[in-house]
Amino acid sequence: MQAWVIGNWKQNPATSHDVKALLDDLLTAVSTKEQPDIAGCQLMVAPSFIHLTAVSERLEGSSILSAAQDISAHSASTGAYTGDCSAQQVADAGAAWTILGHSERRQYHQESHDCLLNKMTHALMQNLGVVFCIGETQAQYDAKKTLVVIDTQLAVIKDLLAQKPELIAGLSERLIVAYEPVWAIGTGKVPTVAEVSATHQHIKQTLASFNDALENMTVLYGGSVNADNADSFAVDSMIDGALVGGASLKAESFLAIAQAFSRATA
């Protein structure tokens, strides 16, 4: 199975100049000597909306895909929704995918089940792939509620299939789940590989139970993945790649993570 390593740039870098420098570093490394080392890995980066068009244009023709970090819940195309960007606008900007349901969106923008169901529907109807983030908080982890929380979050996909059965065809190619424990994001704390593996197995089984077409879905781990710990996650057969925040802001660490997952698929 091809691995995915996705960089979530969040509200970084601060300037277009720094975005360009990061892309220069990435493209130079990918197009020259590093390339065979990352052959087993699909790379993708998710810049801020403000940089999405420039990044997508720059990556056109390269092996790196671009994604948005979010889309509007209100309309798939246009409307009076100040501050929003729609799935259609994101696709038009050159992105092929969008992240949805990141814990920072859930936390700071109160994204609910219905909101995420709308966003996922809009994205898929506009032919955007979706990287759907799920994960428990520290309190939920301590209370051993991880799987219960995850089941509630995955119900967005179940409801999508019930409401839009026409989207099932090809969905396994256009939907990736990223398991990101909230307490592991940006903290340097990580669950054990065995814990992540067991949770991923549960996610895969749950998705397959929704529909036969969702057997063997791609499930990524996210939360403090870096060049030093990537190998330990990569060797586990349940972990199909990584969603990377901080370590994606330097080409060197991002590509080291890609190399780890690529090695593991070889």
Q: Which residues are catalytic?
A: 102, 180
Helix (H) / strand (E) containing 132: strand 129-134
Structure tokens at 10: 């969040």
The tokens describing 222, both together, are 């996210």
225 is an interface residue for ligand PGA by CB under 6 A: yes
Q: Which stretch binds ligand PGA (CB under 6 A): 62-70, 88-96, 138-146, 237-245?
A: 237-245
Report the residue number, 90 or 244, with the smaller CB distance to ligand PGA.
244
Q: Taking CB under 6 A as the rule, does residue 170 contact ligand PGA? A: no
Closest distance between ligand PGA and the C-beta of residue 36, in Å? 26
Instruction: Confirm or reject binding of residue 246 to ligand PGA (CB under 6 A).
Output: yes
Question: CA neighbours within 13 Å on the CB side: how many for 81?
Answer: 14
Only segment of 35-43, 79-87, 200-208, 217-225 that touches ligand PGA (CB under 6 A): 217-225
Among 85, 171, 243, 251, binds ligand PGA (CB under 6 A): 243
Q: Which stretch binds ligand PGA (CB under 6 A): 34-42, 167-175, 221-229, 250-258?
A: 221-229
Compute and round to an integer the Cα radius of gyration of the chain.
17
Query: CA-to-CA distance for 249 and 247, rounded, in angstroms?
Result: 5
Q: Which is nearer to ligand PGA, 241 or 245 (CB)?
A: 245
**C-alpha torsion angle, residues 239, 119, 127, 203 (rounded to 10):** 20
Closest of 8, 9, 150, 5 to residue 64, by C-alpha:
5
- Of 186, 194, 201, 228, the one binding ligand PGA by CB under 6 A: 186
Closest distance between ligand PGA and the C-beta of residue 32, in Å? Answer: 26
Q: Can the peptide bond before residue 13 be classed as cis, meaning omega within 30 degrees of 0?
A: yes
Q: By CB neighbour count within 10 A (0-12 exposed, 13-18 middle, 19+ buried), where does 147 fall?
A: middle
Q: Which range in 88-96, 123-131, 168-176, 242-250 contacts ligand PGA by CB under 6 A?
A: 242-250
Please enumerate in sequence order all residues whose Cβ is within 8 A of that of 248, keeping only pairs 6 or more positions apart, or say none.
6, 7, 8, 9, 45, 254
According to the binding rule CB under 6 A, does residue 131 interact with ligand PGA? no
Identify the residue among 95, 179, 245, 262 touching ligand PGA (CB under 6 A).
Answer: 245
Residues in contact with ligand PGA by CB under 6 A are 8, 180, 185-186, 222-225, 243-247
